[in-house]
Structure 1
Amino acid sequence: MTQGASRLLAATSLRQLQIFAALARTGSYTRTAEALMITQPTVSMQVRKLEAAVGMPLVERVGRRLYLTEAGEALRRAAATVLEALEALDMEVSELRGLATGHLRVAVVTTAKYFVPHLLGDFCRRYPDIEVALKVTNRARILERMQANEDDLYIMARPPVSEEFRFRRCAGSEGVLIAPPDHPLAGARDIPLSRLATEPFVVREPGSGTRMLFDEIFSGAGLSPPLRMEIGSNEAIKQAVAGGLGLALLCRDALDPLVEGGPVELDVQGFPLPWQWHLGHPAGKRPSPAARAFLDFLHHAQD
């Protein structure tokens, strides 16, 4: 090892490398702080310390965007090598011990938050030595996290069709149409889908799995119901529907049938629709012992 490398190694901490690797992935001080659950000033301070150790700027801002300098790109590659080696070492040590220990990072789309915590609760009771981190966000952000390899496993209803990822079915549910409890169609039987063509709808944001299903169902039937409001939250959609703002399509997992005055399910022809949850990870990613334990747990739970 050269004298310069020894000096740099002595002045650099593993945490700083983790922070810089996350910054390189996200391109944002704010999102790095959110991902690592630290403050933005902490991220900035650690990057400045790294720049002092390297002796060159590592990032530069052009307009509102953050870019790595040539030295920053070199450090990103080195940090990735170090962190991957340490992760591989942790996996090998866990395997040698023969114990299901370690950390499990699971990221799920917002609608999956209604059933995944129950699965994780059962899993944690079986494997109390595994620390679990659950990230809940929208589909667009999940795709970004997958590209950046930020988590061990991902759960979503509509995984991308790509050789870069491996997904398998892990649970099932149903898509249902809901209405205010005092809606004229509440309690009606065998409603034709065409009857809803003039009804206003409250919908999820474009790109979400729920919105993709909504668009497929109605455009496939040659219908274009009016969209009164786009909302990025299932909870807000339920409140909007209960308040009389329109109808909505949601996963049954998101419904609370026992809430008085809440939305009611409509009996529409062709509904409920099959809704399949999928679990996956990047194709080249070697699952950690904790991730393999969770995969085995789900496999046996489905038997």
Structure 2
Amino acid sequence: MDTRSLGVFLSVAETLNFSRSGAALHMSVSAVSRTVARLEAEVGQPLFERDRRNVLLTRAGREFREFARRTLGEWQHLQRQLGSEGELAGEVSLYCSVTATRTLLAPILASFRSDYPAVDIMMHTGDQADGISRILGGQDDLAVSIRPLELSRRMDFLPLLHSPLQFCMPAAPCQVRERVLEDLARGGIQWSGVPLIVPERGTTQEMLEDWLRERGIRPRIYAQVAGHEAIVAMVSLGLGVGIAPQLVIEASGVGEGVEVLSLEEAPLPVLSIGLAALRQRLASPLVRALWDVAGRTYPAAL
């Protein structure tokens, strides 16, 4: 029984979905299932009840969840003790999107390296929508993420900056752009006739669904895409209208290929972007040091 297997179990225990945990952990569903099966064999009892629709923790699973949390916490405490002598040293695992590495993180890491040169940052990149799941599953110490609509009680969130969520259309002449401009000239976009490119999961997907539902809109979904950067790229190619944070649109290499749609009468929400971490992990001097440096770097968002 190793710490990685415990982390996989905790992810499934949180999501109650093998596919979602697999996507967040960058593992196949079969690999997640094998890991859980090995743990169940070691425990000697089923940890989950499964059918075609639901995954639920068994009584043994609930007890094992507490054991897994306690064991990972004690392991992290031991690591802190072993590295506590003298200069702060060790490794912090950080998950973020490609855009975050180029924009938001650059000044944080510059200050952190200056203050703590003996601490290594283990960077993992991918769709920011996976950040919260990776934190809950124990794969990373910290994640740059959009604040979720519902934050787990086990987590803390440090806001660093705010960015409005925006609709954008192709900047170059194309069929999609012409259709949108014609609709706007007539009084409003007819979403049933405009191809819409949306996130396949995450907080922005939930926000968009709420926005559409509140207005009784049934859109024409052209594609569901992982990552806002990919959405902006597809819009720039003339494939449809998309949504992305203003931060991503401005930072992407194809930002000039899209044009933000101003819908003042019904704007999309403003996103809070920051660091997420398990409260248990913030007891680590290494993790807390990076957290504190980030807060000093972006004090205006607090």
1:171 corresponding residue in structure 2 = 161
Q: Would the aligned equivalents of 2:90 and 2:118 in 1 still touch at CA under 8 Å? A: yes
- Measure how far apart 1:247 and its partner are: 0.8
Measure how far apart 1:194 and its partner are: 3.0
**In 2 relative to 1, CA 34–178 (structure 1 residues): closer, same or farther, beyond 3 Å?**
closer
1:154 is aligned to 143
**Alpha carbons of structure 1 residues 263 and 201: separation in structure 2 relative to 1, 3 Å:** farther
1:226 aligns to what?
220
Question: Quick one: percent identity of the two aligned structures?
Answer: 18
Q: Is 1:131 aligned with 2:116?
A: no
Q: Does 1:248 align with 2:242?
A: yes
* 1:177 maps to amino acid: F
Quick one: which of 271, 274, 277 aligns to 2:273?
277
Conserved in 1, the CA contact under 8 Å of 2:165 and 2:245? Answer: yes
Q: How does 1:75-94 map to 2 (within 5 A)?
A: 84-94=73-83
User: Alpha-carbon deviation of 1:92?
Assistant: 3.7
For each residue in 1:193-250, what CA deviation from the matched residue of structure 2 results, as whole angstroms up to 9, or x when unmatched?
Answer: 8325345243334432222232233333343332222222334323322222211111
Aligned residues: 284
**Residues 117-146 of structure 1: per-residue CA shift (max 9 Å, x gap):** 424542453232111122334466434323
Say if 1:174 and 1:272, in contact at 8 Å, map to a contact too.
yes
Match of 1:255, SS state, is helix
Aligned to 1:204: 198
The aligned residue for residue 54 of structure 2 is none
Contact in 2 for aligned 1:179/1:265 (Cα 8 Å): yes
Q: 1:69 — aligned with what?
A: none
Conserved 8 A contact 1:257-1:264 = no
Shift of 1:297: 0.8
Confirm or deny: 8 A CA contact 2:166 2:260 kept in the other structure: yes
* Equivalent in the alignment of 1:291: 287
Matched, 1:104 2:92: yes
What amino acid does structure 2 have at the position aligned with 1:266?
V
Mapped contact 1:112–1:156 kept (Cα < 8 A): no
User: How far is 1:298 from its partner?
Assistant: 1.4
Alpha-carbon distance in 2 for matches of 1:85, 1:260: 46
State how far apart, in whole Å, the 2-side matches of 1:76 and 1:209 are: 26
Separation in 2, partners of 1:260, 1:146: 30
Provide the secondary structure at the position in 1 that maps to 2:158: strand
CA deviations over 1:239-270 (Å, ceiling 9, x no partner): 32222221111112222579579532234132
Structure 1 length as normaliser, TM-score?
A: 0.66
SS at match of 2:271: strand
Give distance in 2, aligned partners of 1:137 and 1:260: 18
Change (3 A) 1:163 1:121: closer
| SS class of match (1:182) | coil
Aligned-partner Cα distance in 2 for 1:208–1:252 = 17
Check the 8 A contact 2:180/2:189 in 1, yes or no. Answer: no
Question: Which is higher, the Rg of structure 1 or of structure 2?
Answer: 1
One-letter amino acid matched to 1:224: R
Contact 2:141 2:287 (C-alpha < 8 Å) held by counterparts: yes
C-alpha contact (below 8 Å) 1:139/1:156 kept by paired residues:
yes
**Which position in structure 2 is the counterpart of 1:18?**
3
CA distance in 2, matches of 1:36, 1:234: 19
| Counterpart Cα distance in 1 of 2:254 and 2:125 | 27
* Residue equivalent to 1:118: 106
Residue identity in the other structure for 1:233: G
Counterpart residue number, 1:58: none
Counterpart Cα distance in 1 of 2:209 and 2:187: 13
Whole-angstrom distance in 2 between the partners of 1:230 and 1:213:
15
Q: Is the 8 A contact 1:109 1:139 kept in 2?
A: yes
Structure 1 unaligned blocks of 5 or more: 1-15, 39-49, 55-61, 63-71
CA distance 1:34–1:74, change in 2 (3 Å): same
